[in-house]
Every structure is written in structure tokens, then in C-alpha cells.
Structure 1
């Protein structure tokens, strides 16, 4: 037997304010006696609760049958002796077996329900993760990389570091970082299975090694704390309805003295000439549209405040403008075309916009494309970069 197997690798605790009993880690006891303190805590929690007891297992990575039956027995017995009490078991889709396994308890006791914490956490993900959007994501990264490769060293990037790219999407940024800066290790995490499937296929096709693509919830990551020299999260806080939760996790996994690097936009500052008025109107509407779906594409200039409130120090903020002069103007036009198809397409329809509104909305994107391709035109898309150091 491995002596390490005898060391408790799980944690149980009770939060009085939230009436929440939580258990996390690896729970694989050889006998029920090993669970005695945790089971006692659960029973004490039940005795103190009125109404609903939340059982949080979002960070429960493994649990054998001995543990499952022991905890389940306590909960089921409580339902039968206290019919006034309800239990809500909170799972995560990242650890899918928990939803399936604990879901059986509802069939035994109707006062036990199971909720997947992250099932509604990403209100805009479905708009952006479809396979048809992948080519444009690659084009966007190609255009921003021209700037970021020069900016990154000012925000903690250097060869040999251990880094995490959270909300990595289709993984192209991690690939570019690996080629340019050669970190010792990259963990690339995302909540979109289709994006990760694409990233892994590209890595296999081009024999790219050293990047660990991982499925996970950025607001509740199954990654150890204090382990990464640099944590990046690009164009992502702006599509979460609670970015402060993501930043809390980025802070947690960053090592003391390491840095967290974020990029976000202020879409209403997209510009173009000629036809500036039409373009400006449309991007003001983009900001309103995203707000309707609980996303904030105006977050860029707010980055400093978010980082300070998350506990970071030595905040560094700068911005750059992606333009039709960065490489092929057609690339810029292709990005805007994709935006039009998503924003003035599915998103506007779901918001309930009438045909006249959608037509005007589309016109601004068309005018931005016109400006990008005009021989004398100018089209711009601004990006805010910010980083903060985790205190030592």
C-alpha cells in the first residue's frame, strides 16, 4: 500500500452564513472510520439548519462507494426525520459523475435536489463556441499577437516559466506563446468542449507538445493554488456575468510574486472612417446587446479596478489598437463579418429586435468593413491589457 493513500486528501467544512456544507478533494477511505470527523460535521450542520442545507461538492474530484454511501445515508436519514428540511446538492459539469451519482438521491427522497452550478454561468458561451466561429477566432489572435508578443514581457512573460492560459478557447494563443517564449509548462483550460477538441486536434496535427489542454470551469478550477508564475485570461472576463469570480480563481492559482495578465475590450470605442457615425452607432448598440445577455464588452478600462479589488498589486495597464493596417485589411474585414453574423444575427434575434433595427445594426458593420477595405480608410478595434502581481 502506498503510504500516501493513508493521508487525508479531502476537506469538509460548514459555512453558517450560507448554510452550506462543502466537501472537496479526493475522498477514498479504506473504512468508514476515516470519515468520522466529516460525518459528525455534516450531522452537526444538519442540526443547525432551518429550511435548506446546501451540500457543495463542486470541488469533489473523487469519491469511492464507501464514502458516497456514508454521506448519502446521513442525508437520507435526515430527510426522513426532518421532513421540513430540504437539501440542495451543488455539483459542477466539470466533474460530471457527481451530478449523475448524487442525482440518484432525488429518486429516493424528493426533498433532495441536485443543481449544476455552472450550467447557467456562461450566458454568452453558446454564441461564441460554435465550430463556424473557430476560423475567425484564429484570425483575431493572429491580429492581436502582433501587438501582444511585444507587450507580454512587460507583464511577466519569460522563457522557462510555468503558466496557465485560462479560458484558452481554441488554444492558438498557447501555441504562439510556446513557440515564441518556450515556457517550461503550459496548462490551457476552457469550459467549451468543442474548442478544446479543436485545440487538441491542431496540437496533434502539428506535433505540438508541452501544452496540457484541460476541461474546466474558470470560476471553480480543479487546479492547485499558488503554482503558476503567469496566468493569462484573454477576452474572457467580458463574457462572464460575474468576472470577479474568475479573478478570484486566477489569484488563487497564481503563485505569490507571480502575475495575472488579462485582455478585454471596450467595443463602443471601435471606430472607422469614412462613415464614422454609422459605425459608432452600431458599436454602442453592441455594448447594449451584450449587457442584455449579462456580458460587458466595455470592461477593458475597468481592468485596473477589477485587479485591485481582487487583491493584486503593481497593476500595469496599457492599450493597443488593432487596425486594418495590421497585415491584410481583409483579415480585419473578415473579423467584422463574423461579428455581424453573430451579433446582428442570433444574438439580436434572441433579444427580440425587429427587422428594421437589425437592418440598421447590420449597416454599421458593413460600413466598418467598407472603411477597412477602402484605399484611404481606417478601421480600428481597441484592446486593453492589464496585469497585477499577487503579493508575496
Structure 2
């Protein structure tokens, strides 16, 4: 027997951020016991979700009948036990048999639908802002959440609080906080109507309650003062030319004794091995590019100063490094590719950079992707977390 046949040739995982159970590879067990961990993971996912569970099989290349019936039975039983739950099975036209095989389930249960990846199957999938940056924002949140979920309790997060997430973007952070910590109320505010529409759609699809999505200008919010136990503002002060105006508002709406929590970056400290010199040069240039447009992608280590000058006390600062070892290295590579498209594309062109400069600029991003995907490589992206308490 070929030893390769004894190795696991399929992968099952659950992504709580997307409420998605995925299975990929070749699933041809000789005995159902081989599927035990995957079946347990699917059952656990069903127990956790509300609204919609996505079952992603678009990278499933082979599956024998025993495996198909095992997974199908769990889904069908869940439909009968929980009529409130819907299943959307994501297939691919490239692997046509998956659409035909799983399509049988939709004929049995009305709460099961099958959508091909090439179609608009996912909440907001067809809604792309800034050249398709929405999926990348979701990936970035997934990557940072692995760290922040442990960090947040040290900065005032606890069940039952009233919190505001300012500059909430597409709403992923608010959803994760609601699921993990169960605040009594979350107000999520952003100036982008399209991002808020996306966030509301995801919350509706996933049956997420307790989040109030609000349109507003973070520098002049129509929110009453002294009403939130925790006010968060993530990856946003760095994009404003006058972050002190935002901090003034975060301070105003925070209750005395409550905390203001911010996260920001220092892009020139992005790391990669191999090809470290090329990577370092490019991210130093990213900082200069942002400065040209009056934004500060280096703001992270300056957080204590900004919070202190805003009038906050008991300042707490820590940092973490998102790396290609945290999860799927391809996620990190996808984020870097999106940075390249924006920074070396529209922004560099608008600044008037030469073709020769842009080629070298792009090379650093490509080398960072190479480092992220290399079996012996390392890629890092540093984030600074800081919070301060509003005086009583």
C-alpha cells in the first residue's frame, strides 16, 4: 500500500466569523469512524449558529457515497430539529458533480439551498466597494480577532456593557463582539452608507440581534455624551488627518469610568523572511505614501500620547503581530495583494510616481507574499492596541 493513502487527504473547518463550515480535498473513508472529528465539528457548528449556516464544498474534489450520506443526514436532521435554521451549500461550477449531488438535498428540504460559487451566493458577495476590498476587510478582521478576543477583557470588555463601535466599517467586529461577549447594546457607527448596508445585511442573514447600525460623522457624532461603558475605534484614527477630533468625540460619548479602545498600525514594521530588504523598503515607502495624503499608517506606537492628550487616564498599551503562522497563510497573502492593488495602484498613480518606482514598490509586496506562502517563511503585520479610562 502506498503510505500516502494512509494520510488525511481532506480538511474540515468552521469559520465563526462567516458562519461557514467547509470541507475540501478527497473524502473517501473506508469506515465512517474516519469522519468522526469532521462530523463532530459540523454538529458543533450547527449548535452555534443562528439564521444561516454556509456549507462550503467548492474545493471538495471527491466524496464517496458513504461520506455524502453521513454529512447529508446531519444536515437533514438539523433542518427538522431547527426549522429556524437555513443551510446554503456553496458549490463550484468547476466541480460540477457537487452541484448535482448536493442539489438533491434542496429537493428534500426547503431550508436547504445550493448555490454555485460563480453566482452571488453570499451576503454582500456582489457588493464590492473600493475594487473588492470588502472580502479583504473580512479577512483582516478574522486575522486580528484571534488576538483581540483575548486582549479586549483587559481593556474594559465584559458581558452586559453598553458599547459603541465607531468607524465600524462592514460591521464584522461588532458581530464578533456580540457573539463572544454579549454586551447588552452595541451602537455601530460609520460614514459609509454602503458599508452599513452590507453590515445590516450580514446581521439579518445571521440573525444577529443587539447591534444598532447608525450613519454618522465620527468627528461630529449625533450621539449623547456619557452613555457608553466602552467605545472602540479600530484601524481608523490612522486614516484621518486630524485624529484628535475623533478622539474628542470618543471621549465625549464615553461614560466617566468607561474606556476608549483604539487599534492602529505601524506599517514600516511589517516583516518578512526571506527577501527582508525588499519588503522593508516597500513598507517604509507605504508610510511615506500615506503621509503624502495626510494619513499616518505609523500611528500605532503614538497611541499613548494621543489618548493622554485627549484627557484619558490609566492608559494601557500593548501590541501583537499578525503572522502567516496564525491561520491560513493564503489569507495573509490575499491581504497583502489587496494592499498592493490599492497602494501601488490608485494611490501611487495619484501621487504621480514613476513606472520604475511603482515596479520596485510592487516587488516588495510580491516578496512579502512569497514570504507568507513559503514553507519556511515568515510574514508579520504589527498592530498596537491602546485604551484609556475617562476620569470620574
TM-score, normalised relative to structure 1: 0.67
Q: How far did residue 131 of structure 1 move?
A: 5.9
Q: How far did residue 130 of structure 1 move?
A: 2.3
Q: After TM superposition, list the pairs within 5 Å mapping 1:223-262 onto structure 2.
A: 223-262=223-262
- Are 1:164 and 2:164 an aligned pair? yes
C-alpha distance in structure 2 between counterparts of 1:261 and 1:132, whole Å = 28
Partner of 2:248, secondary structure, is helix
Partner of 2:141, secondary structure, is helix
In structure 1, the partner of 2:378 is 378
Q: How far did residue 247 of structure 1 move?
A: 0.1
Structure of larger gyration radius:
1
C-alpha distance in structure 2 between counterparts of 1:132 and 1:196, whole Å = 16
C-alpha distance in structure 1 between counterparts of 2:214 and 2:358, whole Å = 38
In structure 1, the partner of 2:391 is 391
Q: Which runs of 4+ in 1 moved over 6 A?
A: none
Q: How far did residue 129 of structure 1 move?
A: 5.2
In structure 2, the partner of 1:154 is 154
Q: How far did residue 271 of structure 1 move?
A: 0.6
Q: Could you tell me whether the CA contact under 8 Å between 1:163 and 1:185 is conserved in 2?
A: yes
Q: Could you tell me whether the CA contact under 8 Å between 1:131 and 1:194 is conserved in 2?
A: no
In structure 2, the partner of 1:286 is 286
In structure 2, the partner of 1:364 is 364
Q: After TM superposition, list the pairs within 5 Å mapping 1:34-45 onto structure 2.
A: none
Q: How far did residue 183 of structure 1 move?
A: 0.1
C-alpha distance in structure 2 between counterparts of 1:289 and 1:204, whole Å = 38
C-alpha distance in structure 2 between counterparts of 1:334 and 1:194, whole Å = 23
C-alpha distance in structure 1 between counterparts of 2:169 and 2:229, whole Å = 21
Q: How far did residue 373 of structure 1 move?
A: 0.3
C-alpha distance in structure 1 between counterparts of 2:169 and 2:232, whole Å = 12
TM-score, normalised relative to structure 2: 0.67
Q: Could you tell me whether the CA contact under 8 Å between 1:273 and 1:379 is conserved in 2?
A: yes
Q: After TM superposition, list the pairs within 5 Å mapping 1:308-319 onto structure 2.
A: 308-319=308-319
In structure 2, the partner of 1:31 is none
C-alpha distance in structure 1 between counterparts of 2:185 and 2:302, whole Å = 30
Q: After TM superposition, list the pairs within 5 Å mapping 1:1-392 onto structure 2.
A: 130=130, 132-392=132-392
C-alpha distance in structure 1 between counterparts of 2:213 and 2:272, whole Å = 37
In structure 2, the partner of 1:17 is none
**Residue ranges of structure 1 left out of the alignment (5+ in a row):** 1-127
Q: For the aligned residues, what is the CA RMSD?
A: 0.9
Q: How far did residue 194 of structure 1 move?
A: 1.2
